[in-house]
Structure 1
Amino acid sequence: MGFSKTFLSLFLFFILFSLSYATSRITHQQRFPSTTKFSSNRLAEQLIRSFNLFPKDSANIHGEYSIDDFIPGNIVEKTFSFLASSNGTSVEDLGHHAGYYSLPRSKSARMFYFFFESRNGAKDAPVVIWLTGGPGCSSELALFYENGPFKINNDLSLSWNDYGWDKESNIIFVDQPIGTGFSYSSDENDIPTDGSGVSNDLYAFLQAFYKEHPELVKNEFYITGESYAGHYIPGLASRVHKGNKNKEGIPINFKGFAIGNGLTNPGIQYQAYTQFAVDNKLITKEDQADINKLVPDCVDATKTCESEGGESCETALQQCQQIFTNILDIAGNINYYDIRKKCEGQLCYDFSNLETFLNEKTVRDALGVGNIEFVSCSSAVHNALVQDWMLNYEKDIPTLLEDGIKVLIYAGEFDLICNWLGNSQWVHAMKWSGQEQFGASKTVPFLVDGKNAGLLNSYGPLSFLKVNGAGHMVPMDQPKAALQMLVNWIEGNLNQTKI
């Protein structure tokens, strides 16, 4: 199925690609492009390459692999070390694990994950799961460039991340949905096509994970992630909460979830683009008035998507995406994940070392993935979930708030694509018993080392944090502030100043 040109720029919220947009101002007619058709899969592959990532396949689908040894629900996990020899630390001391989980509902799907025990050695440290967006991007992007234990150097060596979230938690990074990263199957039909499928797979994985690590069952559990995970996270949160209420399997000590620069309520967030762009001098007031003429059709299409689903959601994406691409036509060659920066050539960021490192044979051997090649961002997974894109995932959050589940929505101030303004607007518009009090709450500074690192609003279990000096990837741009945010939020002291 084809998609219009307006589909180009929002293909992967976490793929930091850049297309070449005109730097000169263009006419009103040029800002409303025709609906030339393109292959969705072809566009996906082009955009992955513009991110300077070159996966050999569109997804990890390997028909040649035997499924004779496929045991549904089984976890195979091993310890590994990338850095133990550098300081005399043993593999066991580090507590670094990698594993595969065999999805029971699938033909032969195996979900890959990293699990890092807390660096501080605390037995009661919370368990945190991180979900990267896309849809279809591997969580190793966050692991090695944001909040994991280590970072990749230019010579492909690794160094410790002083602000890795494993310093204060046990953290899991999952390659999901199937086909992403090192996760694989022999059947493309094993890739989920909606949010329910994604959350059910993750819930099944968590049940198996806690069976493998019963010592962690009593520890508090938190769901985190960013970008398109603004869909994944509320879906998984609702699934875990439902499982606990229905006494399904192992009870999970679920306490809260945090979404960073997420896409959660598209119907509201798309409308915020022009105001954010005007406020940051990307477009003029005149431009805003012109582009806002597209908003009513976007809103109507989003409502139809919610009521009818299916292809109407693809139509809604094409309608609404015109708002975003027309802003870019005027703004020129900006990095729309961090508007302080320009895209250099076709690249806004270069994460190519990730694939080079993870596809080295010695690394694959250490992780126990055999001959499976790492796929950083999967076009096939993206395409499978295209009808999920415009759905509103805020609708499940009020029930969680009423039951005392803590919710943190945070956003870097310089991200355009999932900007803080749109996120703030859907959070304030969300109907729950504390809506009025949250709306009237005092905005207070979020302090790091006594300095203002952001602006915070809180009431009851709900918090919204605008993070200073950060773009789309807050833990990459402001690593110390991001770690402090996590620790203080978990401890219930988000407005305190020390890690």
Structure 2
Amino acid sequence: MEKLHHFVFILLFLVLVHRGKVLALKSQDGSEEWGYVQVRPKAHMFWWLYRSPYRVEDPSKPWPIVLWLQGGPGASGVGIGNFEEVGPLDTSLKPRNSTWLRKADLLFVDNPVGTGYSFVEDKKLFVKTDEEAGTDLTTLLIEIFNGDEKLQKSPLFIVAESYGGKYAVTLALSALKAIEEGKLKLILGGVALGDSWISPEDFVFSWGPLLKDLSRLDDNGLQKSNSIAERIKQQLEEGKFVDATNSWSELESVISASSNNVDFYNFLEDEGSNDLSAMELGLYKEISMKRYSRYLTFLRSRSTPGGDNDLDELLNGAIKKKLKIIPENVTWGGQSNDVFTYLEGDFMKPRINEVDELLAKGVNVTVYNGQVDLICATKGTEAWVNKLKWEGLKNFLGKDRTPLYCGSDKSTTKGFVKSYKNLYFYWILKAGHFVPTDQPCVALDMVGAFTHSPAT
């Protein structure tokens, strides 16, 4: 494969061996490292670190590291976030001009265990809560950072998309505790929550009114939507979280039927192809839960028509061969369906309190949302932000927004931002659920801003 030349230009050598088993490798020039951490006995988490070729040494502004956490639950950051959104190469293995390496080093993790290349040897080892996922991630960070003084000097920014936002806030609190106890040698720079599933209740209540205003639902559709949303609220209040997850699936199906299949990841579009063979991650049990992979399939076909862009084929073929340490019996995404199944009792639980805790501790929290996202609609995000108990909320809400532009073009508004103390909110225009894919320029500028990257 000619496109593979991006990967084979360097020799690999062993970095870490334990009991004769390869745990990590790095490129000869040190620009890439990857490996497994056994976060619990028989539970293995895969990570991949890219060191930026654009690194700027500035004593007053240390070069940052971005830890990217994907959603799902069960979606692979090593696969999707890396090759679809912000990594150095796209799914055709061509350089991405808008890679976030321009502003930071990038650490991708297949989280929780069972996602992507990560795997468990016993199904009992899948995580059942967001807190358990945060604990595993903390164990991984201890393994990666504690033995690397250079990494310890770079502030780590946890950037999450979709369900990954729930992992991000539980990880941040877990990591802070480990840092305070002297177990983790790391500087936490901040947390960024991109189109994040922080308060499922607020999102399901946003869908009906938003789509009614957009003429994708009529009064009958709105009534059906609101009725199920009220049921979900009641189930959450009663602690019936699995029932709430099932009602969420039903609500998506009702909205699809009433709207003639509006796209949950861009409400200006209809859903893409129903053919899931190109990329079936098995993220969800029901048909309504397959939209995440379906939309990504649509994005790839739109961006690289006719290209060699099957992510499943790529990760189980050329990339697995390059990485060398993926066990033969491990298939990328092979356990993803189980990841969701074991988390369905936590899926609808809110994590607003965790955001409040981070703000109270002085951690920088950035919230960003794509204008045309539905699944994690801006309307829902604003609703949960308004529920924060943080002492600075009133002043934050009273601030005016500042418009955002890209490059030398000051005639086209790309978004808005406002902040107060350690809370920042970005509204990204003409972007759906996958902000870096839909608006790469403004997303890259945003990353540079919240990481305080010394890169120009």
**What TM-score range do you get, normalising by the shorter chain?**
0.7 to 0.9
* Deviation, structure 1 residue 385: 0.6
What SS is found at the alignment partner of 2:207?
A: helix
Cα deviations across residues 403-452 of structure 1 (Å, max 9, x unaligned)?
A: 21111111111111111110111012211101111121212212222331
Cα deviations across residues 95-130 of structure 1 (Å, max 9, x unaligned)?
A: 011111122x32x22211110012213353111110
* Deviation, structure 1 residue 182: 1.1
C-alpha spacing 1:219/1:362, structure 2 compared with 1 (3 Å): closer
Paired amino acid for 1:368: I
What is the aligned counterpart of 2:420 among 452, 455, 459? Answer: 459
Cα contact 2:162–2:194 (8 A) shared by 1: yes
Corresponding position of 2:89: 150
Q: Tell me which stretches of 4 or more aligned residues in structure 1 moved more than 6 Å.
A: none
Cα contact 1:457–1:464 (8 A) shared by 2: yes
Equivalences for residues 369-388 of structure 1 within 5 A? 369-371=326-328, 372-375=330-333, 378-388=336-346
* Deviation, structure 1 residue 365: 4.2
What SS is found at the alignment partner of 1:92?
A: coil
What SS is found at the alignment partner of 1:261?
A: strand
Cα contact 1:151–1:161 (8 A) shared by 2: yes
C-alpha spacing 1:418/1:256, structure 2 compared with 1 (3 Å): same
* Deviation, structure 1 residue 483: 1.0
Corresponding position of 2:288: none
Cα contact 2:146–2:185 (8 A) shared by 1: no
Residue 297 of structure 2 corresponds to residue 360 of structure 1: no
Equivalences for residues 263-278 of structure 1 within 5 A? 263-278=197-212
Cα contact 2:66–2:159 (8 A) shared by 1: yes
Cα contact 2:32–2:49 (8 A) shared by 1: yes
What SS is found at the alignment partner of 1:338?
A: coil
Equivalences for residues 44-443 of structure 1 within 5 A? 76-80=23-27, 91-92=28-29, 95-103=31-39, 105-106=40-41, 108-122=42-56, 124-139=62-77, 140-153=79-92, 158-245=93-180, 247-305=181-239, 312-347=240-275, 348-350=295-297, 353-360=310-317, 363-371=320-328, 372-375=330-333, 378-443=336-401
What SS is found at the alignment partner of 2:268?
A: coil
Q: Distance in 2 between matches of 1:262 and 1:255?
A: 19
Corresponding position of 1:482: 443
Cα contact 2:141–2:184 (8 A) shared by 1: no
Paired amino acid for 1:193: K
Cα contact 1:137–1:376 (8 A) shared by 2: no
Q: Distance in 1 between matches of 2:236 and 2:324?
A: 42
Q: Distance in 2 between matches of 1:324 and 1:300?
A: 18
* Deviation, structure 1 residue 353: 1.3
Paired amino acid for 1:356: E
Q: Distance in 2 between matches of 1:330 and 1:303?
A: 27
C-alpha spacing 1:297/1:374, structure 2 compared with 1 (3 Å): closer
C-alpha spacing 1:377/1:147, structure 2 compared with 1 (3 Å): farther
Paired amino acid for 1:137: A
* Deviation, structure 1 residue 136: 0.9
C-alpha spacing 1:443/1:121, structure 2 compared with 1 (3 Å): closer
- Where structure 1 has 5 or more consecutive residues not aligned to the other structure, the ranges are 1-68, 81-90, 306-311
What SS is found at the alignment partner of 2:108?
A: strand
* Deviation, structure 1 residue 187: 1.5
Cα deviations across residues 287-314 of structure 1 (Å, max 9, x unaligned)?
A: 3244323333221211222xxxxxx201
Q: How many residues align?
A: 401
* Deviation, structure 1 residue 200: 0.5
Q: Distance in 2 between matches of 1:349 and 1:370?
A: 26
Corresponding position of 1:45: none
Paired amino acid for 2:184: I
What SS is found at the alignment partner of 2:404?
A: strand
Paired amino acid for 2:433: H
Cα deviations across residues 447-481 of structure 1 (Å, max 9, x unaligned)?
A: 22233111223211111212111111111111111
Q: Distance in 2 between matches of 1:177 and 1:98?
A: 17
Q: Distance in 2 between matches of 1:361 and 1:491?
A: 35
Q: Distance in 2 between matches of 1:395 and 1:362?
A: 39
What SS is found at the alignment partner of 1:226?
A: strand
Q: Distance in 1 between matches of 2:257 and 2:166?
A: 27
C-alpha spacing 1:430/1:299, structure 2 compared with 1 (3 Å): same
C-alpha spacing 1:362/1:375, structure 2 compared with 1 (3 Å): closer
What SS is found at the alignment partner of 2:183?
A: coil
* Deviation, structure 1 residue 280: 2.2
What SS is found at the alignment partner of 2:120?
A: coil
Q: Distance in 1 between matches of 2:38 and 2:416?
A: 43
What SS is found at the alignment partner of 1:384?
A: helix
C-alpha spacing 1:366/1:297, structure 2 compared with 1 (3 Å): closer
Paired amino acid for 1:479: P
* Deviation, structure 1 residue 241: 1.7
% identity of equivalent residues:
24
* Deviation, structure 1 residue 376: 6.7
* Deviation, structure 1 residue 390: 1.1
Q: Distance in 2 between matches of 1:293 and 1:373?
A: 41
C-alpha spacing 1:77/1:432, structure 2 compared with 1 (3 Å): same
Cα contact 1:75–1:102 (8 A) shared by 2: no
* Deviation, structure 1 residue 134: 0.8
